[in-house]
Amino acid sequence: MNILVLGSGGREHAIAWALNKSPKCEKLYVAPGNGGTAGFAENVGGLNAEDGAAVLAFAQEHAIDLVVIGPEAPLVAGVADVLRAEGIPVFGPDAQGAQLEGSKTFCKEFMMRHNLPTAEYLSTSDEAAAHAYIDEKGAPIVVKADGLAAGKGVVVAQTAEEAHAAVTECFAGAFGDAGSTVVVEECLTGPECSMLAFVSAGKAYCMAPSQDHKRAYDGDEGPNTGGMGAYSPVPIVTDEELARMEEVMAQAAAATAEEFDHDYRGVLYGGFMLTPAGPKLLEYNARFGDPETQVVLPRLNSDLVDVMLAVAEGRPDDIELEWADKWAVTVVLASEGYPRAYEKGKVITGIDAADALDDVKVYHAGTAMRDGQLVTSGGRVLNVTAMGESFQSARELAYKACGLIQFEGKQNRTDIGQRAINGRSSWD
């Protein structure tokens, strides 16, 4: 099979790596790809992943048998719609399904219609109404720009003043059209946990839960990022919580078949808060998480090509998931200054030594080749993933591998997974 993966980050490297392991994968393209995917696939630097017509032309010219859409922007832009209209199998929902991520209001209304557990909220395009809701509810409270804001646009405000400032920022245009509508919602408490599911024909095939670390610095301090590390499974999740999350994901998958015009075919990402009242939804995303993918897919023993093609062709009964009985931990190596301003072009060394360790895989998130050298090209540069028979052994191996990799200004958290080791009380 000829396969095209759209995207350039660590998530797409992990997806492409897993697809490339399949004997069914004959030719693999990644558009635009990165310095890591260049080692085993053909990067397509000139293809605009959000241009459906351009992606279609490439797919037809190169006889592509399966297109896998990694990021949310091409999904919201309707790239899957264009491809499916011409009979090309696509892993990823159409534009309507992608609105679960493209509009927080759409998502919250979907949750409410289908009795999915989530926080109380107000969605409004009236700035005065948003301020009045904050005054009524008090803090802590969460303010979200409604649309896609590149992982930004969400403020967990500890004071009413901070919440009012976030609302003002949204309506002042800080996030463009994404902030023209604002969602203000109840601040849920407890550990966060993600669950991904392959969804097709109204059925959900859940993956193991994972936990991301959003804050930039140790101790969950500093600004929010795209994610500084993750692990899977999540040791603090009880059997009852796991069953409830799987139930909620199945309920949501069935709701897509009931409500949407076309079959939702791709990944549904459930972001949960493990509250004292049980798991509640923070959000749905319409694609794999990043860096959750980098700890979930390495544990998948099933052939990912078979799984994704069954999803793309609406054959959910053919999906079989087998998982390695191992723990996975990934640590993000980032550029100095991330998530704020940072420099690019720093030479990277030591990846081969890290990759040579048993049960270690280094996924590239923001790298490029320049004059024959691998250099940094983004804020999150590498995802160093390790597997182990225990959570502690996987964590220690990941940090051992991190120590072998060097580039100027390298920064990373040193406490990925520490809270899980300390137990549930560390979130109190």
Q: In what order do the strands lie in the sheet with 327-334?
A: 211-212, 229-232, 327-334, 380-388, 360-364
Phi-psi region of 173 (alpha: psi -120 to 50; beta: other; left: phi over 0): left
Answer for the pair 52, 85: CB distance below 8 angstroms, yes or no. Answer: no
**Backbone angles phi and psi of 62, in degrees to 5:** -105, 15
Grouping H, G, I as helix, E, B as strand and the rest as coil, residue 338 is coil
Grouping H, G, I as helix, E, B as strand and the rest as coil, residue 285 is strand
- Using CA atoms, how far apart are residues 311 and 295, in angstroms rounded to an integer? 21
pTM: 0.95
Q: Which domains does the chain have, with CATH numbers?
A: 2-94 (3.40.50.20), 120-186 (3.30.1490.20)
CA distances to 177, 306, 392 from 319, in Å: 39, 8, 32
| Token pair belonging to 268 | 């549904």
- Using CA atoms, how far apart are residues 358 and 354, in angstroms rounded to an integer? 9
User: Residue 260, Cα to own-chain centre: how many angstroms?
Assistant: 23
pLDDT tens across the length of the chain (428 residues): 999 999 999 999 999 999 999 999 999 999 999 999 999 999 999 999 999 999 999 999 999 999 999 999 999 999 999 999 999 999 999 999 999 999 999 999 999 999 999 999 999 999 999 999 999 999 999 999 999 887 678 889 999 999 999 999 999 999 999 899 999 999 999 999 999 999 999 999 999 999 999 999 999 998 889 899 999 999 999 999 999 999 999 999 999 999 999 999 999 999 999 999 999 999 999 999 999 999 999 999 999 999 999 999 999 999 999 999 999 999 999 999 999 999 999 999 999 999 999 999 999 999 999 999 999 999 999 999 999 999 999 999 999 999 999 999 999 999 999 988 888 877 76
Closest CA to 88 of 72, 65, 110: 65
Q: pLDDT value at position 20? A: 98
Torsion, Cα 313 199 67 376, to 10 degrees, reads -170
The dihedral sign for the CA sequence 196, 324, 13, 50: negative
What's at 113, amino acid-wise? Answer: R
Burial (CB < 10 A; 0-12, 13-18, 19+), residue 428, is exposed
- In sequence order, which residues have a C-beta less than 8 Å from that of residue 125 and are 6 or more positions away? 180, 181, 182
- Using CA atoms, how far apart are residues 200 and 185, in angstroms rounded to an integer? 30
- Using CA atoms, how far apart are residues 40 and 30, in angstroms rounded to an integer? 10
Closest CA to 55 of 8, 5, 101: 5
HSE-up of 34 (CA within 13 Å, CB side)?
A: 26
Omega of the bond prior to 291 within 30 degrees of 0, cis?
yes
Please count the other Cβ atoms lying within 10 Å of the Cβ belonging to residue 61: 8
Could you say which DSSP state residue 99 is in?
Answer: H
Residue where the block lists tokens 């107000």:
122
Answer for the pair 213, 230: CB distance below 8 angstroms, yes or no. Answer: yes
Residue where the block lists tokens 């004059």:
371
Answer for the pair 268, 291: CB distance below 8 angstroms, yes or no. Answer: no
Closest CA to 27 of 4, 6, 53: 4
Reported residue count of the chain is 428
